[in-house]
Structure 1
């Protein structure tokens, strides 16, 4: 642009950043080119370099998050699907570990993937594993906190979940598929029965890495209730299985929770977050 034009209509830094972002992510056609000095290379050619780099970076991030999905569909199909996904669902932040959470739902809507009924749930498992893997560290609940509770508090106690603990259910044996694909175990893949019973999974991070454990439906429902912040008393009423107390002890030992609070305290915390 000419100096006189720059003086009268120069964009703010924020406007310039948004224009470049839209162009680099393919959300606009040349909107940022008027702010780029040619200097021997056309503005769009310069922006294309950054666009290619951005797409390549996002593609690599999705490959790292969904290695089993890529192995199941092949590199060519995976790259085509992810490029389409990147165009429709650009990242909302620079934190690449948090990018791609809606990819399983995107796969579910792809006509080309309709014949692979188990693909979406396999992708959901990989996303949960990614969340657990990159979740911030949390100090496991000190069991002495439970000893400090009064008897009257038991009905209102809630557990604060670890960010590295999740549950997942699927109509397909996605844990077996995931393990077999990543370990390249062709015999295990050949032996998978897609019509087998549904699976319920407890995904958590321990000292040796991310674990994907099969659990019962009752254990999954109980764990999901506690992770969602329901009072322990209510979760026990909904699932009064004789082994629930044993399963709760297992959850505590695995670091599923980081603290406890009472329902009134949880309400005040939620209100404080809303006000903030």
Structure 2
């Protein structure tokens, strides 16, 4: 019997329905048996797809896996994969919705901080894979001349993220990854919320706890607001010290005066 050859989009849609919805109808008609029936062949592809996506989640959320154990994690990962298939072929981008999924998962309710740990790990993942950029050269700020702080704006490094969590997840995350049971036992969940800065350094990923005021001031700066506007949102007594620390950490890559397309920008140039 001669079968119509499907177009590539038809075949892709059929495989998508088979892999994600277990609906093999269309795809099975285009499978050549050759020793294995269509259902078995498609099942192999489906299991491989779920396994690869679960592995991607294990790589992105190692502390979460340690907290709940590999069996629980694998079960949760497969439930998530079924509900939230990837939208991109780049697996480093897969898992953004996993923390919220864990927050809604009834079986994870006994670990109330689990979703927040996952949120921190996702931010670590984003920072780890973010593009690089040369940090702002402090000496270049003198080129701003007479503009004054009222017009001064900054651009944050691509490998910097801010995160607020209800629980002290920075302590939990480090304790779990370092297998520090003593610190883990001493964690007081009432020590939250915490305001965190996640950034990439030459030696790895650093998670810094900020005060609430420092965090809000930093968030305003990272959004490109002027210094006075950032101070208005969070009136920090040590705002200039916070800014100096961000410059020293390399969290800022660009400075400008003015706004819009007319702004004059200054960044460190390559030698």
* TM-score, length of structure 2 as denominator length: 0.89
Structure 1 unaligned spans of 5+: 268-276
Matched, 1:36 2:31: yes
Match status 1:264 vs 2:260: yes
Instruction: Please say if residues 107 and 120 of structure 1, whose CA atoms lie closer than 8 Å, have aligned partners that are also in contact.
Output: yes
How big is each residue's C-alpha offset from its partner over 1:68-112, in whole Å with a ceiling of 9 and x where there is no partner? 111111111111111100000000011111100111100111111
1:56-75 paired onto structure 2 within 5 Å: 56-75=51-70
1:92 correspondence with 2:87: yes
Of 178-187 and 15-24, deviating more is 15-24
User: In the TM superposition, what are the counterparts of 1:39-188 in structure 2 within 5 Å?
Assistant: 39-152=34-147, 154-188=149-183
Residues 148-170 of structure 1, C-alpha deviation per residue, up to 9 Å, x if partnerless?
22434743443222121011122
2:188 is aligned to 193
Q: Secondary structure of the residue that 1:166 maps to in structure 2?
A: strand
1:128 and 1:166 in contact (8 A); partners too: yes
Equivalent pair of 1:26/1:51 in contact (CA under 8 Å): no
Residue by residue over 1:31-61, the C-alpha shift from the partner in whole angstroms, topping out at 9 and shown as x without a partner, is: 3222222222212211211211111111111
How big is the alpha-carbon RMSD for the aligned residues of Structure 1 and Structure 2?
2.0
The CA deviation at 1:248 is 0.5
Cα 1:137/1:266, change in 2 over 3 Å: farther
Q: Is the 8 A contact 2:102 2:115 kept in 1?
A: yes
- Check the 8 A contact 1:59/1:82 in 2, yes or no: yes
1:266 & 1:14 partners in 2: Cα distance?
46
Is the CA contact 2:130–2:159 (under 8 Å) kept in the aligned structure 1? Answer: yes
Task: Give distance in 2, aligned partners of 1:30 and 1:150.
Answer: 70
Contact map agreement 1:141 1:257 (CA 8 A) in 2: yes
Q: How many residues of Structure 1 are paired with residues of Structure 2 in the alignment?
A: 262
With normalisation by structure 1, the TM-score equals 0.88
Q: Deviation per CA, 1:182-230, whole angstroms, max 9, x where unpaired?
A: 1111111111111124221111001111001111111111111122232
What CA distance in whole angstroms lies between the structure 2 residues aligned with 1:85 and 1:27? 15
